[in-house]
Amino acid sequence: MSISDLRAATGVLALANGRILQGIGCGAPGEAVGEVCFNTAMTGYQEILTDPSYMAQIVAFTFPHVGNVGTNAADLEQISGAASTAARGAIFRDAPTAPANWRADSDLDGWMRRRGVIGLAGVDTRALTKAIREDGMPHAVIAHSPDGRFDLPALTRQARAWRGLEGLDLAKQASCLQPFVWREGLWRWPDGYADTTGAQPSYEVVVVDYGVKRNILRALASIGARATVVPAATTAEEILERAPDGVLLSNGPGDPAATADYAAPQIRKLAESGAPVFGICLGHQLLALALGARTVKMEQGHHGANHPVKELATGKVEIVSMNHGFTVDRSSLPAAVKETHISLFDGTNAGLAVEDRPIFSVQHHPEASPGPNDSLYLFTRFAHLMDAAKGV
């Protein structure tokens, strides 16, 4: 009989290799297929689960206690708010706890249930993390059934049949449908997020939305930029018609090589226009591809808020937030493109700049959320490039 009664287990993770992890289901009932990665951040689980870069992924949290501060409406990172454009599932060591924070307006379990995010608790996340480090990020199905009945062979077959992220363009799904202007700045105690509606902008920035995080837009607002967000497939001509002082290429999900089919030609035109360009995460990878470099799939990726990155020009080490499963092949960078940052975990590329042009990008997330603010100064660096281009 293919239907298995796991009795006490109300949640499972069925891996493509046939392994089944049992636990306590939480969040939404149902099932979802995706790539399993681990995240080492100790805080910021709501921001992680709503980061569009996690689209088609299942996040295993290495920190054992998740849910302590609950959730709130202000800390969503995706623009659309749709669960389908962020993480498909979450795996915890312990069941989510009741919230104990003044900003909470919901508990994590109920929030996940309303958003359709499937959860699995009671799993040995240390063993799962070790397996990912040794064998790479597996394809799997996460399932939650309140009656504890699962068709395990069918779940395993579904995991094996999933095509995975390689060759998959997800940016168009994660992107906005129409241009819009962002007016909210970074969060400051005790006022919360700044409202820049009435402020005269110092810069006009066009953000190409491949799955942008809200905090990137807030960071732009906080340097005095009015950010106009445009869909992923917007042409360079349409962007330049807006006469921007600078262009930001955002983060996002999927295989950068697939997204580059339509994005790279437009980015090359932007690079040739003389406009300052700043790329973040997927935007960094797309910029590299547009300039002639290659990207490759990583075995375990970088996901967390405690990654050391070294700036080569100064020797300064920053602790940063990262979330990517592909990387720029540093050996493929053209002669006119210099490497600016590297990961101190594995030596992979973490930044680049184009010689004699106001163009740079980083693999990590300078806007954090969650994570440290060591790299927030990069938005000011972008502002300086825009000032120089304007002759200020």
**Catalytic residue IDs:** 281, 365, 367
Burial of 40 (0-12, 13-18, 19+ CB in 10 A): middle
Q: Which amino acid is at 285?
A: Q
Within the chain, residue ranges assigned H as helices are 45-49, 108-115, 125-135, 152-161, 171-174, 214-222, 236-240, 256-273, 282-290, 377-390
Closest among 302, 281, 252 to 365, alpha carbons compared: 281
Q: Partners of 227 in the beta sheet?
A: 182, 205
CB 322 within 8 A of CB 308: no
Bridge-based pairing of strands 118-121 and 89-91 is parallel
Contact 59, 49 (CB under 8 A): yes
C-alpha 135/C-alpha 188 separation (Å) is 42
Q: Check: CB of residue 362 under 8 Å from CB of residue 378.
A: yes
> Which residues have C-beta within 8 Å of that of residue 158, sequence separation ≥ 6?
14, 31, 33, 141
CA angle 148, 151, 153 (to 5 degrees): 135
Give the residues across from 324 on adjacent strands.
302
State the maximum Cα–Cα separation within the chain, in Å, rounded to a whole number: 74
Q: CA-to-CA distance for 362 and 375, rounded, in angstroms?
A: 10
C-alpha 201/C-alpha 199 separation (Å) is 6
Specify burial of residue 276 (Cβ count, 10 A radius: 0-12, 13-18, 19+): buried
Q: Is residue 71 classed as helix, strand or coil in its secondary structure?
A: strand
Q: Give the list of residues 6+ apart from residue 161 with CB closer than 8 angstroms, or none.
A: none
